[in-house]
């Protein structure tokens, strides 16, 4: 059955920033993220220098929708009912026989909590966006390196990966110019970021002119948010939005109460005292969807304003906005473009330690669907009785149907449509199987 979604009926339109409004040059940004973590693990934690060298073929491992079983060092691609469709130990694909030997009837033991969207735990990690994928390749290669000394009964590298993430992404890293990630993006933003086309800017203006309240809600800190927005939208980017919320710490922004996550005002990108409520439009940090919604009631004059939120992460954006706040959600999913998506195919394999500090030419390589993991949406499993393969939807595909109002390949795609029509007369229909 079809479920209609009308953009014109939404009084407020919200956007995530990274990989939603702000698109990255994936070959360059993926390598930077990988290198940021690998350098830290090698220099600070004593991991094998082999991690610093990435071959062009290695990127084929990267695929959204994989779960990492942390103790076993196994990556899993799951069907909607928790059946393991494909698996690898480290980067090495597991045979159907190895999957059965490890998991019994191809059922993953953590699926019940996983399918409830408890996607971050001490037992597993779910990779669902482009910021995550370089880390998936790195973790798989760590397992490979550790196995060179004999397969581990349980793997304990995850704490070091978390330390690498915190070192590079901590809220003070941008200001302190520490780690590898932020200094590189600050030094050459055009290398990593794509400017928004005029069609997107025109659409944002159309939305405001139609009386919509425009929101920017990002987990990035305010200083990094400003760098991104100035580059992709221009120095006057703040004019596009009524409310900007940085360091939102999603999904907690949607799931936690005002007492747990109050809004804070900002002064020179430094968070100030907690606010008892949200009284007016502006730029804020942290916060919660409850107080935001109360402000939207005042701004729109509606007792129950309808909100739509655009995002690229099922875990951080789409599921929590839909489940906790009952917002309409638009899932930005490049996989909808077809075969030429996913991670970059690099053309160079020189080790990091032999390169200058990110010098040299990084060509814009094409993208390709992972040969190792196959389609993001569907896969096949052998029939238990007949032995014939049965086509089934992946767990990721099931989540899209359950929690997103519609899916689009990019913001540009919807802006191109909307710019040719009056926004008040644009209807978008989602066909979903009942």
**pLDDT the model gives residue 112:** 74
In this prediction, residues 99-105 reach a mean pLDDT of 85
Alpha helices in 248-307 (DSSP H): 252-255, 289-300
Dihedral of CA atoms 34, 40, 313, 394 in degrees, nearest 10, equals 60
- What is the tens place of the pLDDT at every residue in 210-262? 999 999 999 999 999 999 999 999 999 999 999 999 999 999 999 999 999 99
16 is known as an active-site residue: yes
- What is the tens place of the pLDDT at every residue in 295-326? 999 999 999 999 999 999 999 999 999 999 99
In this prediction, residues 162-167 reach a mean pLDDT of 95
C-alpha closest to that of 172 among 221, 228, 230 = 221
CA angle 335, 336, 341 (to 5 degrees): 35
Residue 75 has pLDDT above 80, yes or no: yes
**pLDDT the model gives residue 7:** 86
Residue 341 has pLDDT above 50, yes or no: no
**pLDDT the model gives residue 104:** 81
How is residue 41 annotated by DSSP? H
**pLDDT the model gives residue 31:** 96
Which of residues 428 and 113 earns the better pLDDT score? 113
Q: Where are the domains of the chain?
A: 2-22+196-332+398-425, 26-188+340-376
**pLDDT the model gives residue 92:** 97
Residue 290 has pLDDT above 70, yes or no: yes
In this prediction, residues 323-342 reach a mean pLDDT of 82
pTM for the complete prediction? 0.88
Check if the beta carbon of residue 325 is closer than 8 Å to that of residue 293. Answer: yes
**pLDDT the model gives residue 227:** 97
In the three-class reduction of DSSP (H, G, I as helix; E, B as strand; rest coil), residue 64 is classed as coil
Which of residues 356 and 204 earns the better pLDDT score? 204
In this prediction, residues 122-143 reach a mean pLDDT of 93
The class level of CATH for 2-22+196-332+398-425 reads: alpha beta
- 234 torsion bin: left (phi>0), alpha (psi -120 to 50), beta (else): left
Residue 143 has pLDDT above 80, yes or no: yes
35 is known as an active-site residue: no
Residue 86 has pLDDT above 50, yes or no: yes
C-alpha closest to that of 165 among 136, 189, 124, 194 = 136
In this prediction, residues 178-206 reach a mean pLDDT of 95
Residue 365 has pLDDT above 50, yes or no: no
Q: Give, in order, the Cα–Cα distances in Å from 46 to each of 59, 331, 424.
A: 24, 39, 58
Give me the chain's average pLDDT, please: 87
Banded model confidence at residue 166, pLDDT cuts 50, 70, 90: very high
């Amino acid at each position: 059955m079809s479920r209609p979604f009308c953009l014109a009926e939404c009084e407020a339109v919200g956007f995530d920033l990274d990989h939603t409004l702000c698109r990255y040059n994936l070959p360059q940004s993926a390598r930077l993220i990988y290198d940021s973590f690998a350098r830290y693990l090698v220099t600070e934690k004593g991991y094998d220098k082999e991690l610093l060298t990435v071959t062009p073929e290695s990127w084929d491992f990267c695929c959204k929708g994989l779960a990492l079983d942390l103790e076993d060092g196994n990556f899993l691609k799951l069907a909607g009912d928790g059946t393991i469709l494909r698996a690898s130990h480290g980067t090495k694909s597991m045979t159907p026989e190895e999957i059965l030997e490890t998991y019994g009837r191809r059922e993953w033991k953590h699926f019940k909590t996983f399918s409830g969207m408890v996607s971050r735990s001490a037992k597993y990690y779910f990779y669902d966006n482009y910021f995550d994928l370089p880390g998936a390749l790195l973790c798989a290669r760590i397992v490979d390196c550790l196995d060179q000394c004999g397969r581990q009964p349980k793997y304990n590298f995850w704490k070091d990966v978390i330390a690498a993430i915190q070192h590079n992404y901590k809220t003070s890293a941008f200001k302190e110019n520490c780690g590898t990630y932020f200094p590189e993006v600050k030094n050459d933003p055009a290398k990593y970021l794509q400017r928004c086309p005029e069609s997107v800017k025109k659409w944002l203006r159309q939305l405001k002119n139609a009386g919509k309240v425009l929101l920017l809600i990002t987990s990035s800190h305010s200083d990094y948010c400003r760098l991104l927005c100035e580059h992709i939208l221009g120095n006057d980017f703040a004019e596009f939005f009524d409310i900007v919320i940085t360091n939102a710490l999603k999904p907690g922004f949607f799931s936690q109460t005002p007492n747990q996550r109050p809004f804070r005002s900002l002064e020179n990108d430094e968070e100030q005292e907690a606010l008892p409520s949200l009284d007016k439009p502006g730029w804020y940090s942290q916060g919660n969807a409850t107080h935001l919604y109360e402000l939207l009631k005042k701004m729109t004059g509606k007792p129950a304003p309808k909100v739509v939120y655009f995002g690229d992460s099922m875990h951080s954006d789409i599921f929590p906005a839909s489940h906790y706040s009952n917002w309409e959600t638009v899932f930005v999913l490049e996989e909808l473009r077809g075969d030429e998506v996913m991670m970059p195919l690099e053309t160079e394999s020189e080790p990091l330690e032999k390169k200058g500090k990110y010098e040299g030419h990084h060509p814009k390589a094409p993208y390709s669907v992972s040969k190792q993991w196959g389609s993001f949406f569907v896969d096949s499993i052998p029939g238990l009785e007949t032995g014939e393969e049965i086509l089934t939807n992946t767990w990721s595909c099931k989540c899209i149907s359950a929690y997103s109002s519609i899916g689009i390949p990019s913001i540009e795609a919807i802006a191109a449509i909307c710019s040719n029509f009056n926004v008040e007369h644009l209807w978008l229909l989602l066909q979903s199987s009942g």
